[in-house]
Amino acid sequence: MEAKKIVIIGGVAGGASAAARARRLSEEAEILLLERGPSVSFANCGLPYHIGGEIADRSRLLVTTPESLRARFRIGVRTRSAVTAIDPAKKEVEIKDLESGEVYRETYDALILSPGAEPVRPPIPGINSPNVLTLRNMEDMDRIIQALDGKQHATVIGGGYIGLEMAEALRRRKIATALIELAPQVMNPADPEMVSILHQELTLNGVDLRLGTSVTGFSDSAKGLKLSLSSGETLETGIAVLAIGVKPETSLAKAAGLALGPRGGIKVNDRMQTSDPAIYAVGDAVEVTDFITRQPALIPLAGPANRQGRIAADNIFGRDTRYQDTQGTAICKVFNLAVGMTGLSEKAAKRAGISFEKVYIHPTSHASYYPGAAPLSIKMLFDPQSGKVLGAQAVGSDGVDKRIDVFAVAIRAGMTVFDLENLELSYAPPFGSAKDPVNFAGFVAANALRGDVRLCHAEDVINPAAQQKLLDVRTPGEVSVGTIPGSMNIPADELRGRLGELSKEKEYFVFCRVGHRGYLACRTLTQNGFKCRNLTGGYITYQRTIGMAAHEMPEAHHPENDFGDQDFQPTAKDTLLKRVKTIDACGLQCPGPILHLKQAIDDIQVGEAVCVTATDPGFVADAPAWCNTTGHELASLEPAEKGSYRATIIKRSPAVCGNVQQSGKRAMTNVVFSNDFDKAMAAFIIANGAAAAGYEVTLFFTFWGLNILRKAGPVTARKNLIEKMFGFMMPKGPDRLTLSKMNMAGMGLAMIKGIMRHKNVMSLPALIGQAKLSGVHLVVCTMSMDLMGIKSEELIDGIEEGGVAMYIDRLSRSSAGLFIS
């Protein structure tokens, strides 16, 4: 083979892989690896774990040293050597020795660019403060560790995987930690209902999670930094770690005239060749093709970078090896949980206009009777015609990696859900189930495609139409912890004997805890001539979709020794308790832990306590809900050993419990009389806030208030002339409202909407959607409709009609009521 000189820019994931592969392919080649930093081939993925202390020995992060690359591979390694320019015509690079300052040139026959991606630093006032740090390499890591010295509080900005890993690392160092994320969810590539449980996990582990919030400014303060937030608040912190994303390092490529792709990365072909045939580029700096959508994408992950490095070297030495696109297989540890994904998410499918169906399953990581079984939640997307698997996401404390990897292979191999049914996967009770969760996802999806059952989703049950009815087939014990508003309960085992209670005119949205009993019930109903659909993923998916996560729990439910104590010693209140019963409900799924809790509470005296340990993450939401409905007191709720959760509940007297049971959930009933934009905003902000705080909220729309709920487009409704004229003069829906003051022919309104966008305040239509998702009752006054000539067809879906009696009834059950006029 002809001797070649290969120059590689960047000596970590892609660069070091390319260099080692090049040597394996050619003993004659001259290989020169140029790295700006002091180390090559370090484990950037391990950096957060050294900060957190799991990887105690810093040197373990240095996977290879320049010396060992020289000795084993005869690679010329020059660290602290920054390439400052490329001259494609002369096939030369310009290098600056960062130690001596010397600038010199090297020629190449083939050049490989692997410069990676740099952290995004938006132009926020004060962002250049030395206390605002980023994490990309060993030096950044050392700087963060040094800056944390003596600090009591730190803030992570950005809830992607680096941000999440940093938040955990900081809590492991017993530092009070805030995590600020602009989106309403962490881990943005995943779908929101799959990560709402991570919000709970973060909060339980003492992270002050602020979603839907951005930082608008940094200023130095006595404690280190003061952050101004989009919420209008300020936050005193020691340091801030900026982890809001990365952007490809393309400056060298751009200056050399290499083509960039539409997403801003270096454009390459499937041989990793740039627009200059002698120059290859790999890793985070390049644009790839998304395996599913076939769209250009930036997917900065270590696996693709390493494989691309190999492929570039292969092609330089005449091997026809092709990169086969990126499907975005990723996993992240968040305290006791892991979240993993591969292929298409629902969000991405919608963005790309790809049609899909989805199923959710909530099995256990291994046979539920073998100790240590942990709940696992899986969402799978597939093509509704062919059944081809398009994407999967999983979250749980055990077994996420194994399932995501099987899905990743299935997607790569172009398998369908029917193939998943037939996969033969390893099984013994400590490791899995005879029907593995991946097989199960296949069964559920294939059942739907074969027409054995029709599916419905949380989005459907939140907004049922008039002829649709919700049927909860769980046991009364399960229902006592919570159900979907408006549903009727017939336990699955009683269904055949109670079919007379159902109507063949209606369509039933059937649900159980995870979807299995719902499926059985649907089979019974269908064969008896009823119309029905099964809620895939059942009540658990519904809860996760509406975001019933514990980060919204009242303060009292958090460990009281918050911040600075990762071990969560019992609280002072706990130690004073006479803890007569300890229950191990690990491995049990809902309602198991709650049923055990109830049994134990029945057996003890008032004032005594039960301490329950459970592995079901749903228990974190169920325990407070059960206490709320029964009146017993939740003394503490905290993460415990091996991914479990521990709740301490004090038995309260029948008098207290009786009051709670009588009054039920706290309620608020507000009248919305006005159709002014500002007043409508206030009405929905209050309603959403109250719903999040656990109130059952009713908004009663009367007179002008009705206009807020009108559909924007043309609606055919039978009206007389006066009604038509009246309807024409009044605003149609939230986008047509005006300000009550300073509207200035719409200028004031436009200004307010601009400010709202800038400050990330939800729009009025989004607030209305959120209110519906949170179960806020939107009731329209039928008398006002009649007076103003507004017909039901003109109003948005999912609202109730009622009169003054309904209003008075709701008000009499409420502890608060406002008149918004």
Indicate which residues carry an active-site annotation: 45
CA angle 814, 820, 821 (to 5 degrees): 145
- To ligand FAD, the closest distance from the beta carbon of 265 in angstroms equals 10
Q: Is 163 in the site for ligand FAD (CB under 6 A)?
A: no
Does the protein bind ligand FAD through residue 80 (CB under 6 A)?
no
Whether the CA torsion 70, 73, 79, 84 is positive or negative: it is: positive
- Judged by CB under 6 A, the residue of 26, 44, 237, 327 near ligand FAD is 44
Contacts of 138 (CB under 8 A, 6+ apart): 37, 38, 39, 42, 47, 58, 61, 62
Rounded CA gap, 791 and 711, in Å?
11
Q: How near is the Cβ of 71 to ligand FAD at its closest, in Å?
A: 21
Q: Which region among 43-51, 198-206, 455-463, 710-718 touches ligand FAD (by CB under 6 A)?
A: 43-51
Task: Output the smallest distance, CB 248 to ligand FAD, in A.
Answer: 9
Shortest reach from residue 80's CB to ligand FAD, in Å:
9
- Any residues with CB less than 8 A from the CB of 425 and at least 6 apart, and which? 406, 432, 436, 438, 439
Determine if 115 is a binding residue for ligand FAD (CB under 6 A). yes
Q: How many residues bind ligand FAD (CB under 6 A)?
A: 33
State both tokens at 129.
Answer: 């403060």
Residue nearest ligand FAD (C-beta atom) = 283
Interface mask (CB under 6 A) for ligand FAD, residues 266-295, using x and -?
-----------------xxx----------
| The two three-digit tokens of residue 448, written as one number | 């739907």
**Of 690, 643, 49, 665, which Cα lies nearest the Cα of 338?**
643
What is the layout of strands, in order, in the sheet containing 579-585? Answer: 579-585, 609-614, 645-650, 633-639
Query: Which residues within the stretch 743-802 sit at the binding site for ligand FAD (CB under 6 A)?
Result: none
Q: Which of 6, 8, 15, 577 binds ligand FAD (CB under 6 A)?
A: 15
Q: Using the rule CB under 6 A, which residue among 22, 29, 33, 37 binds ligand FAD?
A: 37
For residues 119 and 442, which CB has a smaller minimum distance to ligand FAD in the complex?
A: 119
- Closer to ligand FAD by Cβ: residue 301 or 756: 301
Should residue 48 be labelled a site residue for ligand FAD when binding is judged by CB under 6 A? yes
Q: Which is nearer to ligand FAD, 286 or 600 (CB)?
A: 286
Least separation in angstroms between residue 782's CB and ligand FAD is 57
Cis peptide before 119 (omega within 30 of 0): no
Q: How far is the CB of 765 from ligand FAD (least distance, A)?
A: 37
What does the chain come to in residues? Answer: 821
The HSE-up count of residue 460 (CA atoms within 13 Å, CB side) is 20
Distance CA 214, CA 157 (A): 8
Return the number of the residue (306 or 447) whose C-beta is nearest ligand FAD. 306
Contact yes or no for 647/230 (Cβ under 8 A): no
Report, in Å, the least distance between residue 658 CB and ligand FAD.
53
Q: According to CB under 6 A, which residues from 293 to 322 bind ligand FAD?
A: 300-303, 305
Binding mask 131-150 for ligand FAD (x = CB under 6 A): ----xxx-------------
Residue 817's CB: how many other CB atoms inside 10 A?
Answer: 16
Out of 4, 30, 38, 45, the residue judged to bind ligand FAD by CB under 6 A: 45
35 binds ligand FAD (CB under 6 A): yes
* 3 state DSSP class of 453: coil
Return the structure tokens found at 422: 């037939």
Instruction: Single out the residue of 252, 373, 585, 781 in contact with ligand FAD (rule: CB under 6 A).
Output: 252
Q: Which helix (H) or strand (E) holds 657?
A: helix 654-663
Determine phi and psi for 6, rounding to 5 degrees: -110, 125
| DSSP symbols for 395-452 | EESSSHHHHHHHHHHHHHTT-BHHHHHT------TTT--SS-HHHHHHHHHHHHHTTS
Closest to ligand FAD by CB, 412 or 516:
412
Output 82 or 790, the one with its CB closest to ligand FAD: 82
Q: How far is the CB of 169 from ligand FAD (least distance, A)?
A: 10
String of DSSP letters for 669-682: EEEE----HHHHHH
Burial of 50 (0-12, 13-18, 19+ CB in 10 A): buried
Q: Among residues 26, 114, 205, 480, which is the contact residue for ligand FAD, using CB under 6 A?
A: 114
Q: Can you tell me which of 12, 147, 244, 438 binds ligand FAD, judged by CB under 6 A?
A: 12
Name the DSSP class of 326.
B
Query: Judged by CB under 6 A, does residue 82 bind ligand FAD?
Result: yes
Task: Please pick, from the candidates 23, 26, 31, 36, the single residue that binds ligand FAD as defined by CB under 6 A.
Answer: 36
Q: How far is Cα 412 from Cα 573, in angstroms, rounded to an integer?
A: 54
- Which residue type, as a one-letter code, is found at position 46? G
Q: Sheet of 81-87: strands edge to edge?
A: 81-87, 92-97, 103-107
Kindly state the smallest distance separating residue 20's Cβ from ligand FAD, in Å. Answer: 13
Say whether residue 9 binds ligand FAD (CB under 6 A).
yes
Scanning the structure block, which residue is given the tokens 């499907």?
Answer: 327
> Measured from the CB of residue 34, what is the shortest distance to ligand FAD in angstroms?
5
106 binds ligand FAD (CB under 6 A): no
Query: Beta 455-456 vs 468-472: how paired, if at all?
Result: unpaired
Please, which residue, 48 or 733, has the CB nearer to ligand FAD?
48
Q: Residue 610 and residue 597: Cα distance in Å, rounded?
A: 7
Is residue 162 part of the contact set for ligand FAD (CB under 6 A)? yes
Q: x/- string (CB under 6 A) for ligand FAD, residues 512-551?
A: ----------------------------------------
Q: Which tokens in the block code for residue 761?
A: 């305040």
What is the C-alpha separation between 124 and 741, in angstroms, rounded? 32
**In the numeric block, which tokens belong to residue 161?**
């995987």
Does 341 bind ligand FAD (CB under 6 A)? Our answer is: no
Q: Which is nearer to ligand FAD, 115 or 391 (CB)?
A: 115
Q: Does 683 contact ligand FAD by CB under 6 A?
A: no
| C-alpha 142 chain-centroid distance | 30
H/E stretch holding 104 reads strand 103-107
Under rule CB under 6 A, residue 13 binds ligand FAD? yes
The least CB distance from residue 253 to ligand FAD, in Å, is 10
Binding of ligand FAD by 250 (CB under 6 A): no
Q: List contacts with ligand FAD (CB under 6 A).
A: 9-10, 12-15, 34-37, 44-45, 47-48, 82-83, 114-116, 135-137, 162, 249, 252, 283-285, 300-303, 305
